[in-house]
Structure formats: C-alpha cells, structure tokens
Amino acid sequence: MDLDGKRIVVVGGSRGLGFGMVEAFVARAAKVTVVARDATTLRALGEQLAVTTVAADATSADAAKRIMSETRPDVVIMNAGAEPPMDRIDRIGWEAFTTNWNVDVKAALHWVQAALTLPMAPGGLVVLVSSGAAVQGSPLSGGYAGAKRAQWFIAKYAEGLSTQLGLGLRFRVIVPRQMFAGTGVGNAGISGYAAAAGRTFAEQAAAWPDMTPRGFGDTVAELIGETALEEAMIYAVRGDTGVTVVNDG
C-alpha cells in the first residue's frame, strides 16, 4: 500500500504514539486527518504539520459516523485511549477500574461500526492500537489489560462480518509491547510500577527498549506501506525486536 496520497484518519493523534504515527504518515505524503478532544492542541498541530484537524470526542458514535462520512478514509488508526488509573486490585474502585472500557473500548467499537455501516470502500483498513498489557496483563492498572484485549475481539468480529457481507475491509491490531516514557499512558505505567518496586522513574523507564513515539510511528507506517497488514491480524511492535506476528490462539 503506497501511502502517498492515501487518506488516513488518526483518532487520538495529537500526542504520544498517535502523534508519532501522524508525523510518520505525513512524511510519506499521506493526507492525514487528526481527531482529538483538545482544540487548542489541534490548532498548534495544524500549524506544525500539513494535516487536517477535527476536535471531537472519539467515544461519540455520531462523531465517528460524521467524520468517516466527511473524510472517506482509506485507513483509520484508532489510537484514542485514557490514561489508566494506577492502583492495586484491592484498592481500586469500580469507576477507576472501568476507565479504559469507557474510553478505549467504546471508541474502538464506534469507529469500527462506522467503518462497517458507512461502509468504507473495499480495501479499507482499520487499525486498533492495543497494548502489551493485553498479552501479559497489568496488575496495577485495573481493567486496562482486559480493555486492550477486548479490542482484539472487536477487530476479529468485524473482520468476520466484513467477509460475510463481502465488504472487502481489513481490521487489524497493533500491539506496542513496551512502555514509552514521555507519553500519557507510558508515564502513568512507569510511575506506578516504579513506585511499587521502590525505583525511580528513570530506573523503571530504562527497563524498556529505546524507542521513541516517532520511531514507533515509522515502524507502523513502514509495516502498512510494505505489507498492507495482509499477513496476519495482530502485530507486536517493540524497540529491540521490531515487528512480530502475534498468534491470538
């Protein structure tokens, strides 16, 4: 898939890994639309990069349908998510525990539904950005791991329905298998586990491979450009091992 001129919507693309992907897509001459909540941040981003920006709540079904209808994307990257509340399982309350179900999973469901019901044009690609916590768990972040694993099922169900209806759409999952210092989710996780282990933030961060959000974005962009994600449904990305296929059993 040559990304030059491709219409790509990045939901949750104003900071962190999302911003890294936006930079990488722009560098490859894609026509990028960035969706995020904060209009001020989006204005600054629009001045920095040649992108279209839309201020919207990613968890809104109406917003997903409207933006998909207006942009008619070739590729949708669903990266929107909340910072997980960090606490032990015996202390965390239900509202905090379900934070990522109410944001990450809800947003993924609505954008996938919009892709299926619009529908996107045949050959369309929807990528859900999950987490390594979906593989090994994350005992200090409540329902985060389960929420990120639920995104796998959403992609799998949507892929099956696309095949059944003959839509020609692909639904895929990218799994960052490390924490990234300097991102909202990464900082929350590193801080929480550092405190539990009696380490400094820097010591905990050093346990992970060296990879920046832009490095992650370049890896994802190259993977999409070279393979169109046709080989498998779930791909893991990590600074020291690169891209690997995940077998979800």
Please give the Cα distance from 126 to 221 (Å, whole number). 13
Strand 242-245 versus strand 234-238 pairing type: antiparallel
Per-residue pLDDT tens over the stretch 121-178: 999 999 999 999 999 999 999 999 999 999 999 999 999 999 999 999 999 999 999 9
DSSP character at residue 198: T
Is residue 170 classed as helix, strand or coil in its secondary structure? strand
Cβ atoms within 10 A of the Cβ of 101, count? 16
Residue for token pair 């974005």:
217
**Tell me, what amino acid is at 245?**
V
pLDDT at 249: 59
Q: What's the rounded mean pLDDT across residues 237-249?
A: 92
Q: How many residues does the chain have?
A: 249
Cβ atoms within 10 A of the Cβ of 97, count? 19
pTM: 0.96
